[in-house]
Structure 1
Amino acid sequence: MVINHDEAAAVRPLTLAWVSRHLEVGERIVRTEALQGGITAEMRRLTIGTRDGRTRDLVLRTFVDPFYVERAEDWLNREAGTLTLLAGTGVPAPGLVVVDPTAAHCEYPSLLRTHLPGRTVLDDEGLETRVPLLARQLVAIHTLRPAEQPREYETLTTADTVVVPKGADAAAWAAAIDVIRKPAPPYEGRFLHRDFHPGNVLFDVPPSTPAGVRISGVVDWAQPSWGPADLDAAHCSTNLALLHGPAWGLRFAEAYEEAGGVLAAVASERLYWRVRDGLAFSEDVQLVAQSWREAGRAELTTRAVEERLDAYITALLDAPG
């Protein structure tokens, strides 16, 4: 019997049968729970009852939105390949159980993976401890040298698709858009997560000693790429700026270098990657803000996030060097 927290947690019949076929003999799903915070896919935690009376957890990722279903085969194949690649590397990624990228067995394209301990932490409290951990983890990811190089990174915006927020500093945004009209700077390729940010990182936070927090997992490996370390660092920076304020977005690059990471040596090249990533958020502010509110940050309205994005873009252009 499957016990649901609510209707949203229910697993569709074909998918339920598919998952059940890939459990160990004598195992069964005893509970499902919808996980909040996902933008592109539905996420559910499945609690599995084992033959010896214990339980273990798996995570089911399902693409249902037509826009993302069209891209699901590519993303799920890439994620499955990456999870296999990361096994044994020291990067705390989930293990792959099974994938159905074309919905041959499930109602929608789906991937089943192991569940990692820990939780996402999006609160302001304790951020000064978590930022260096994020930086060190990203540096570790960038040191990976897979035998088969992933595809080159894709840009997520163009100068013509940027959406300038209402009331934004028009001069600053015009200058920022001019920055990304230029050709991309040369770079030394690195293995990129391509969506590394606090919402895709799990933390183990001991209740008695919060300062002993550690990273227990990195998830959402749907878009691994080959490209500049600056781009991954910039993406985490933008997320930090919108979640916690522009100063934290500016701080992350320093933390990344303090952790041993290497970013572009020329200030204009650093600016290019930071601005490119920041502007990419202009087209998805509403979706991003909604996912964060669902994850507990009720004050992050679309307008509040737009204002932070405006402040961050302005701060990038004003930042020395």
Structure 2
Amino acid sequence: MMTPSHRKIADMNAKISKVFVPTARTQQVESIFGELIAESRDRSGDHSSVLIVGPSQSGKTTSIVKATEKLESTLPGQVPILHVTLPADVTRKSMIECIFTAAANRGFHNFNKLSGNEYRYQQRAFTLLENLDTLLLILDECHHIRGARDAVRAVQVGELVKTFLIEGPCPLVLAGVGEAAKNPYQTNEQLMLRSRPFVELAPLQLTNPADRALFGKMFTEFFDELERLQIAENVREFQKAEFKSCLFQAADGVVGQAIRLVREAFRQMIIAERAVLRISDFETASDGILLTSEKQRINHFSKLSASGFTQ
């Protein structure tokens, strides 16, 4: 049975999930999508690709979803952008099945009718994308493709991607984590020639003034939006520069981790049946989220509280 506290937490999570602050990084993703789509309209076959790579919670999927939402509203066709999320340890053939599943989730195609070998699946996928008027195909979590982590087997993954670019009807975006995402490109010279420079969403660096400014601006706007949503009475008190610097350190420069910490701090506030957010809520949140081995030993919010920070 859902308690009033559970309902409040669910409502809070839903509200925070809808908050999105565009940054130079998300705008870069949107710009590249637009360029690839323009290319796909101008020619058939031999399309381009781009890889978006970064650590978990670096904003890859959020950037993709927001760019897709914005661009799709301006594009013709049934499914101009098809976003496919790949499960763990997916085979090349199963990867193609995921394209049909994604189309089915958008209300098109009965994927239960699929049969045949990998080549047959490819050809049917190309036909499906043509019928859907798809201008851009996105394979998210591409590091999950079986063989991508192995430099030798990654060549075969790269060949499959290259086939989609040469024979398929649209450009391709891959998004993933680490070397497993890069391997299919870096082990396949011809695929690299068809690729734009990687979009690397590396963690922001505390020692980099531009990264500090980006993080500070983003979370100023983020907390402004949280204040508007009235989740807590004193959100404005956490706009102080020393708090945002602490949040930056606690999240190790990963924006998604910072948002996760904020979400967990609000949860602690609701559990305590308060309408006022406290620095102790962030201390508890940080203790409960194992970010890195260093963060298991250092709670930056406890240090901030000990320094005399008040909200």
The TM-score, its normalising length taken from structure 2, stands at 0.28
Q: Which has the larger radius of gyration?
A: 2
Structure having the higher strand fraction is 1
The structure, 1 or 2, with the larger RCO (C-alpha pairs under 8 Å, 6+ apart) is: 2
Structure having the higher helix fraction is 2
